[in-house]
């Protein structure tokens, strides 16, 4: 059996023996159905509102909006869940010191790390499928024409990419500290910060672009974005969640920040960078003193 498979089997065994796994599955399913119901309620309200003439095209347009709304909501929740889950992926072994012992054996740190990443990717796919099934079940009760398969698959693309990126980020965070509480705290603070900075940087970027070129509007400011705002906006992986509305061509109040192809490239880049950073951080695993303690020593606090 290859070393990679040995690590993978061990990680699967650890995951399935952890009661939090069952809690996570149940919570995921419940949240997905709840969000799907909320999206469905909004959809029903839209199709019965005022004097709207109901045609197949209008139903499909409204379904696209509902789908975007659903994936935006569930996508944000799943990003947080997988960020937290992946940041705890190493806590059992790091906290107990087992990871250090394992590294005294004939193992490759890369394979050890990537086996966890693969398992987390499988979990992401599973989570996405649960979310899709919840949406399909709820909307099938509506007895309305569903969107074609292509649109459904396209709607899942950017939530999938976002979750993969945040999973890679979470696993990187897992290498920074030994304690479960510490890594969760880092993950939550980072997510809140990134989310806040994302919207702020887009708004400020739009204002800066329109100030520099008064002919620009909310619908085309991206062509005049100053470089510093481009760096700020495109270095933040939270923008990926907006890709669903761009992919399904649903109107929103801002110019699209990227097209589908650019979004995929951006996501792949984020994923590769976070994975590389995680591997680099994990390569220091053998040291007895965690990074946080070393940092404190360096600034004379310990």
Partner 1 sequence: MSSTDILLSGRNLSKTYGNMFTKGNIRALDKASFEILQGEICGLVGPNGAGKSTMLKLIMGIEPKTEGTIDMNGMDPRKALGYVPERPTFLEDLSAYYNLLYIARLNDLPDAEGTSRRLIDEFGLKSRGDDIVSTFSKGMKQRLAIARAVIHEPKVLLMDEPFSGLDPGMMIELRTLLKGLKAKGMAMLLSSHELNEIDQLCDSILFIRSGQIIRKDGRGEVEKRHLLQLTLATPSEQVVAALSRWDGGTVSDDGLLISKMVSKEDVPDIVAEAVRAGGRVMDCHIAQRKAEDLYAEIYLKEGKA
Interface with partner 1 (CB under 8 A): 1, 3, 6, 10, 13-14, 17-18, 92-93, 96-98, 100-107, 286-289, 294, 297-298, 300
Among residues 179 and 286, whose Cβ is nearest to partner 1? 286
Torsions phi, psi for 147 (to 5 deg): -65, 160
| Shortest distance in whole angstroms from residue 47 CB to partner 1 | 50
CA distances from 102 to 12, 108, 116, 223, 275 (A): 17, 10, 14, 51, 21
Among residues 118 and 264, whose Cβ is nearest to partner 1? 118
Among residues 101 and 126, whose Cβ is nearest to partner 1? 101
| Shortest distance in whole angstroms from residue 14 CB to partner 1 | 7
Among residues 10 and 250, whose Cβ is nearest to partner 1? 10
Among residues 249 and 283, whose Cβ is nearest to partner 1? 283
| Shortest distance in whole angstroms from residue 181 CB to partner 1 | 18
* Among candidate residues 41, 245, 264, 284, the one with its CA nearest the CA of residue 155: 245
| Shortest distance in whole angstroms from residue 103 CB to partner 1 | 8
Please state, in angstroms and rounded to a whole number, the distance separating the CA atoms of residues 258 and 156.
17
* Helix 109-140 and helix 149-174, axial crossing angle in degrees, nearest 10: 140
Please state, in angstroms and rounded to a whole number, the distance separating the CA atoms of residues 214 and 206.
11
Please state, in angstroms and rounded to a whole number, the distance separating the CA atoms of residues 99 and 213.
55
| Shortest distance in whole angstroms from residue 21 CB to partner 1 | 11
């Amino acid at each position: 059996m290859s070393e990679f498979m040995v690590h993978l089997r061990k990680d699967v065994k650890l995951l399935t023996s952890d009661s939090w796994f069952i809690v996570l599955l149940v919570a995921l399913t419940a949240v997905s159905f709840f969000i799907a119901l909320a999206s469905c309620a909004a959809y029903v309200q839209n199709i019965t509102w005022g004097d709207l003439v109901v045609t197949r095209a209008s139903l499909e347009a409204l379904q696209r909006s509902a789908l975007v709304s659903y994936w935006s909501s569930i996508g944000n929740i799943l990003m947080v869940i997988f960020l937290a889950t992946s940041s705890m992926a190493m806590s059992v072994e790091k906290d107990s010191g087992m990871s250090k012992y394992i590294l005294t054996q004939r193992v490759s740190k890369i394979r050890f790390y990537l086996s966890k990443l693969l398992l987390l990717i499988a979990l992401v796919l599973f989570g996405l499928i649960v979310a899709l099934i919840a949406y399909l079940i709820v909307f099938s009760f509506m007895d309305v024409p569903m969107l074609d398969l292509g649109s459904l698959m396209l709607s899942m693309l950017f939530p999938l990419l976002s979750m993969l990126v945040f999973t890679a980020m979470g696993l990187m965070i897992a290498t920074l500290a030994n304690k479960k509480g510490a890594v969760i705290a880092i993950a939550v603070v980072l997510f809140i910060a990134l989310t806040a900075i994302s919207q702020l940087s887009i708004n400020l970027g739009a204002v800066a672009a329109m100030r520099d070129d008064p002919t620009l509007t909310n619908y085309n400011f991206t062509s005049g974005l100053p470089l510093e705002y481009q760096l700020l906006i495109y270095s933040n992986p939270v923008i990926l969640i907006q890709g669903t509305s761009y992919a399904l061509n649903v109107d929103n109040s801002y110019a699209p920040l990227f097209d589908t192809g650019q979004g995929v490239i951006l996501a792949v880049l984020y994923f590769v960078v976070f994975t590389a950073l995680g591997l680099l951080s994990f390569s220091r695993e053998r040291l007895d003193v965690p990074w946080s303690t070393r940092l404190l020593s360096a600034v004379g606090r310990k």
